[in-house]
Every structure is written in structure tokens, then in C-alpha cells.
Amino acid sequence: MSRGRDYAPSVEGDLPRDGGAPRTFDAPGAFMWHALNAYERGDEIVADFVAYNAPDHFATHHSLLYQIMQGKLAPAKEAGTLRGYRMNLRDGKLNEEIVSAETHEFPIVDPRLATQLHRIGYMTANGLHAINTGVKRFDFETGATQSFDFGSASAVGEPVFAAKPGGKEDHGWLITQVLDGETKKTIFAIFDEQTVGAGPIAKVRLTHPLPISFRGWWSAAR
């Protein structure tokens, strides 16, 4: 994707599963770190993701992420909005939808629904855009949200979905790593997926800090 609304539109593409030449779609310019999910629905491809109009948290040596490496903070004005691309395979047109204009990062779905129709998405939210302080549950069917915030001194990592044994889709727990800026220690917070807004049902408290990590995965013991 291109870096922002001030830049030329980007080009999106899909590659047929049974081979053949890829198709391209003209799309509004945006900067994206992470996709939530994508799936086929009738004659279109739906892709949901988090994107920024411009990467002011990332680009230049004065940006937020660069300054953090120096032990400092810097402003980040552009929110990571939750967006959807709807790519029509018949007419080759792409429509963009701003699903939620709040700030988000690290979006996920129940892994069992990868590349399939999803209803619920999970992500971090609030805070300094790229560094968020809360966890959010978003219902794509109704638009309903649940969120819990750990406070402005917290940095919340990517939530991980752990399915309940024998449970239905989207029935499980969310596990997220939280760095407490006041105690300088890390906790792992565990949420019931159905009641994220009620806060963690359990916390695993470490005696030391951990860097915020990425690409977590849960696998049940066998």
C-alpha cells in the first residue's frame, strides 16, 4: 500500500487459487502493518485490516517508534483505523469502508476462521495509536464493541486467541501481554472472549519487564 492520502493511490491484487494471471484493483492510499482477515463472499473478496492515512508513528527519525528506541516518546497523530476493502470480481472495482475511525493495532480473528467469513475481530485499541493501552472486541455484524483499558501508563501487546475445548467458533479466551509503565513489570491478562469489557478474569504477574512481542499463537496441550 502507499503511505498516505497525500500520495498516489495504491494497487491491490488477487491471485486465483487455480492459477492464472493476478487481477489488480485501484485502492485509496494507506499504510498498513497488519491484516485481520480476508475471505470470499459471492462475487467479491472482503479484506479487513488496520491502516493509517500516513505512517507518522513510523517514518522519519522523529517518529514515535524511532524515538522509543532512544527511550523517548514522540507524537503520533494518525490513527490506525479499522477498514475494509470490498473487491468486486465482476467489475474490477474496489470500495473502501472505514469500519471504525478509532485507533487500533494487532487485529486477529479466531484462527479457525482464517480465510473464512468472520463476525468477531479482536485487537488492541486506544493510547498513542501504534502503542495501545487497551483490548477491543468488534462485532462486524452489529457494530457492537467491548473494550477494556489498562491505563495510560500501559503498553498492550497483540492479543492471542485460545479456543475453549469443544467450544464453538469465537468461544474462547484472549491472552495479551501488558507492560505496566508504573511498576516496570509485565503481566499476562486473560479475558473471556464473550465479556472483554468486564476486564481480565485472571492475570499472570511476572517479576520483571518483557519487551512487547509479536506473532503469538496458542496451541492446546495434547
Q: Tell me the pLDDT of the chain (222 aa) as tens digits.
A: 433 444 445 666 666 777 778 888 899 888 898 999 999 999 999 999 999 988 887 777 777 776 777 777 667 788 899 999 999 999 999 999 999 999 999 999 999 999 999 999 999 999 765 688 999 999 999 999 999 999 988 989 999 999 998 888 899 999 999 999 889 999 999 999 999 999 999 999 999 998 777 777 787 777
CB atoms within 10 A of CB 49: 22
How does 69-106 read in b/e, with b if 16+ C-beta sit within 10 Å?
eeeeebebebbbbbbbbbbeeeeeebeeeebbebbbbb
**What is the pTM (predicted TM-score) of this model?**
0.86
Q: Give, as one character, the DSSP assignment of residue 179.
A: E
